[in-house]
Amino acid sequence: MTAPTTDVAGEGGDPLPELYRSGRAKQRRARSVRLAAYAVGLAALVGFALTADWQKIGDSYFDLERAREQFPDIVTIATKNTIIYTTMSFIGGVVLGLSMALLRLSSIRAYRWFASIYIEIFRGLPALLTIIFVGFITPIALGIRFPEVLGVASAGIAALSLVA
């Protein structure tokens, strides 16, 4: 059985197979869609650049005096907080992960189902979405206040423990 051919000849005089021709059409269509997406993105970027208040952006984000005042301390504080939050999230994640692993191995069907659902939800959910959900939506929806020990960071630690 041979591939169907078209009557359009290539440079060598051989007819092009129909499957090859349809593949090239798909490539051209994909390329056109990709170029259109690039054009829309570029237009949005140019529109933002033309309408942005660059003076206000510069004052808010590129104030060198404020950066000089904060520089030595901000790096050490950020490093300390990162280590604390990462360690606490890791410990919480290990505890939750071990608990879910043991529930998944349980002989009780309800425990296995619960663990499977939990694992699949938090495996497929992006970490940023989990942080937003735990930090903003859960306190409003359920009226939960996170402990004031670490302040707002305790919500982030809880969220990262869920996805760790």
Query: pLDDT tens digits for 100-145?
Result: 999 999 999 999 999 999 999 888 889 899 888 888 888 788 877 7
How much is the pLDDT for 147? 72
Burial class (CB in 10 A: 0-12, 13-18, 19+), 155: buried
- pLDDT tens-digit map of 38-63: 999 999 999 998 998 888 888 888 88
DSSP count for the chain of H helices, then E strands: 7, 2
More confident residue, 12 or 37: 37
CA 161 – CA 164 distance, rounded (Å): 5
Judge whether residue 1 has pLDDT over 60.
Answer: no
Length of the chain counted residue by residue? 164
Confidence of residue 20 (pLDDT cuts 50, 70, 90): low
Question: What is the average pLDDT across 15-19?
Answer: 60
